[in-house]
């Protein structure tokens, strides 16, 4: 599995369409995951989900990090925030 912080960095290049908050959701224990790896990407305030945006993010993650993902765009404010360190991974 690619580093969640590396995934966040790649997704962050899609601002202003996205907020930069992500949540990687591995489907099993351990580092090795069966593709595609589910990744929730929070949209920026006022932006609507667009399948073309999700596909662009998926393609950039694949080319930059050599990882197959399933990108789910979620509404602004959906992903939990923290004053310190935001959670990047949520085990299923």
pLDDT score of 92 = 62
Q: Which pTM does this prediction carry? A: 0.86
Q: What is the pLDDT of residues 35-81, one digit of tens each?
A: 899 999 999 999 999 999 999 999 999 999 999 999 999 999 999 87
- For tokens 């993010």, the residue is 57
pLDDT at 45: 96
pLDDT of residue 17: 97
Cis peptide before 16 (omega within 30 of 0): yes
Domains present along the chain, CATH in parentheses: 4-74 (3.30.300.30)
Angle at 51 between CA 30 and CA 21, to 5 degrees: 50
- For the chain, how big is the Rg over CA atoms in Å? 12
Least confident of 6-15, 26-35, 38-47, 74-83: 26-35
């Amino acid at each position: 599995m690619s580093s969640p912080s590396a995934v966040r960095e790649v997704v962050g290049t899609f601002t202003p369409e996205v907020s930069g908050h992500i949540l990687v959701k591995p489907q099993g224990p351990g580092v090795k995951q069966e593709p595609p790896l589910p990744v929730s990407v929070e949209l920026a305030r006022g932006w609507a989900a667009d399948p073309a945006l999700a596909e662009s993010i998926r393609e950039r993650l694949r080319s930059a990090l050599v990882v197959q993902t399933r990108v789910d765009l979620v509404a602004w404010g959906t992903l939990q925030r923290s004053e310190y360190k935001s959670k990047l991974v949520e085990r299923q």
